[in-house]
Each structure stands twice: as structure tokens, then as C-alpha cells.
Structure 1
Amino acid sequence: MIVPAPDLPATDFMALQQLAARYWALADLTEAVPLDEMFAPDAVFDLGKLQLEGLPAIAAFFAEREAGMRASGRTTRHLASNFLALPQPDGSVRVRSTVMVHTGNGDHPLPATEPSGIADFHDLCRRQPDGRWLYHHRSAATVFVGPGAAAFAR
């Protein structure tokens, strides 16, 4: 059973988990989730070799990524786990998670292969005046790289 931190209400913990789930659904092209429902206008997204600042830069990255995936027939599935929400004194929440990604190209079903990567994600989320949680800073640190990893993860 997953138990939220003692000073983080269960509803906030669940909202933060749903924020992450929506993000991965967008990354895997399984749902069209508006980026402004996930990232603050001034958000920073740090993918190691790729730094994106502001919602327009993040949106351009995702648009280019989606176009490339659709053109090449690339499929990804990101599996996120070890979700740890750490409330901060200023009301924000730091979230840590571990993500494993599998990739392939072509028609489904694709052959199962070793992961193309495993990364640690570190997020800073802030509640908005309307009650929603958004990413203000999201960073990924690649731990393991396998075949098919994105260039920014190498």
C-alpha cells in the first residue's frame, strides 16, 4: 500500500501521481494532454543534455518529438515507480521517481527487449491558485542506457 507523507494530504498525493501519469501518457502518445495542464508558464525541463525553459520551448520539444515518433513508427512506454512526494516548507512538493522506458519501431505487438533506459526524475511541483499542481522544475538523470535510448539520454 502506498502511504503519503504524514503532512501531505492523500488528495494532494493522488493529484501529484495523476500529474505524473498524465505526463507519461503524453510522452507515450497514448493521450493528448495539454501541456499547460502540467507545466507552469515559466517551468524548466532539464533532460540532461537538453535544457528547456518556459512553456513555449517545452511545447516545441513535444511537438517535434511527436512528429518524429509518428513519422518513424516509434513506440515508447515509460514505466514510473518509486514515487516519493516530499512536502517543502514553502508549500511546494519535491517528487522523486524512477522511470524505465522501452522503445521499438514498427507495427504492434513489438518484440520485448531490454529497457532503452532507466532514469531518476526529480520534480518541483507547486499548487496553483485554482488548486491544480503543476511542474515548475522537472529534471531527469539517466542511470542506465540501453539500445534505442533518445539522444538526450545518452
Structure 2
Amino acid sequence: MQKTLLIRQELEALAVDYWYEVDANGGVRAHEFYTADAIFSTSMKTRQGQSQIQDFYRIRRQRGPRLSLHIVQNFRLEQVQDQQARCGYIMSLYAADGEPVLPSRPPIMIAAVKETLLRQPDRSWRYSERTLTALFRDNTPTTG
């Protein structure tokens, strides 16, 4: 039980750190959170491999200023094996093009996120698969 709780805390912290990298740094290092052949699927597109994920965030930054906040809620550890874990959570996305301070609005999307992670030789976790499924959306464009 204690080991499971520790893994849950590690994976929740990793999810928060990942989305912080996207929000605070434009995802410059986001691809480093994934395995070499990882799959990242959104409602708009599926990207496979670190290079496609890196390109996605590079193109996103080239569009110009964008403010985003990805909020991780209701984190659940669904399955743990020695070298693999599965988890899920709800993500609320607040985002708009431009520089702060922007008008306050409800989230532009609330999504169910499912992730599979693999334990690396250095004992860290990396995403091998992440799928975002939109549950609620408004008409504000996402970059996904």
C-alpha cells in the first residue's frame, strides 16, 4: 500500500510538472517527459515519438504569445506493475492567445486524460502514451 501511494504521488507530481513546463516554458522540454516512441493523442491529432512531440510545441511557440494554465484534478492511479503504470485525471484548460493580463473566462476545455508510463533504468517515469479526450469545450481554438 505504501509503495502504491508513493508511486501515485510521483506520477501526480510528474503530471503537474509536465503541464507546468507547457504553461511556463512553452513546452521547450516537454518531449523529454516521453519515451522515444511515445504516442500523444488529442482531439485534433496523434503524434508519435519525441521528435513529433517536440515539433508540436515548437510550432505552438512560433504562433506567438499564448497564455495557458493546465489544471490537473481528480488524479487516479489505475494500475501499477513493476515497470509500468496507468493513471487518469481530469484536466481543465484555461488558454488564449496573447499576453497577460487576459480577460477571465471559464476553462476552454475540460478533458479526461489517460496515461501509460514506463519506469526507466534510472528509476524515473516517462510517458509512453497520453490521450486527451475532450468532455466539455467552448469555441476558443486549442493548439492540440
* TM-score category of the 2 structures, normalised to the smaller one: 0.7 to 0.9
TM-score (norm 1): 0.82
- The whole-number CA distance in structure 1 between the counterparts of 2:73 and 2:112 is 10
The one of 20, 24, 46 equivalent to 2:19 is 24
Question: Structure 1 residue 111 and structure 2 residue 103: aligned?
Answer: yes
One-letter amino acid of the structure 2 residue matched with residue 76 of structure 1: S
Following TM superposition, by how much is the alpha carbon of 1:109 offset from its aligned partner in structure 2, in angstroms? 2.1
Secondary structure of the equivalent of 1:29? helix
Per residue, is there more strand in 1 or in 2?
2
- Structure 1 segments of 4 or more deviating over 4 A? 30-33
Structure 2 counterpart of 1:93, from 85, 89, 96: 85
Corresponding residue number in structure 2 for 1:80? 72
Root mean square deviation, CA, Å: 2.1
Task: Please give the per-residue CA displacement for 1:126-145, whole angstroms capped at 9, x wherever unaligned.
Answer: 11111000000000000111
Aligned counterparts of 2:37 and 2:28: Cα–Cα separation in 1:
18
Q: Is the 8 A contact 1:25 1:31 kept in 2?
A: no
- Structure 2 distance, partners of 1:31, 1:52, is 17
- Cα distance in 2 for partners of 1:103, 1:36 equals 21
Partner of 2:138: 146
Number of residue pairs matched? 144
**Percent identity of paired positions between Structure 1 and Structure 2:** 24
Note if 1:54 corresponds to 2:27: no
**Residues 5-32 of structure 1, C-alpha deviations (whole Å, 9 max, x = no match):** x374433222212210121112213476
Matched, 1:123 2:115: yes
Provide, for residues 58-78 of structure 1, a one-character-per-residue CA deviation record: whole Å limited to 9, x for no partner.
11001111222xx2x321111
Residues 105 and 18 (structure 1), Cα distance of their counterparts in 2 relative to 1, 3 Å cut? same
Whole-angstrom CA distance in 1 between matches of 2:134 and 2:17? 21
Any gaps of 5 or more consecutive residues in structure 2? Answer: none
Q: Does structure 1 retain, via aligned residues, the 8 Å contact 2:60–2:143?
A: no
**Partner SS for 2:86:** strand
8 Å Cα contact 2:22-2:28 kept in structure 1: no
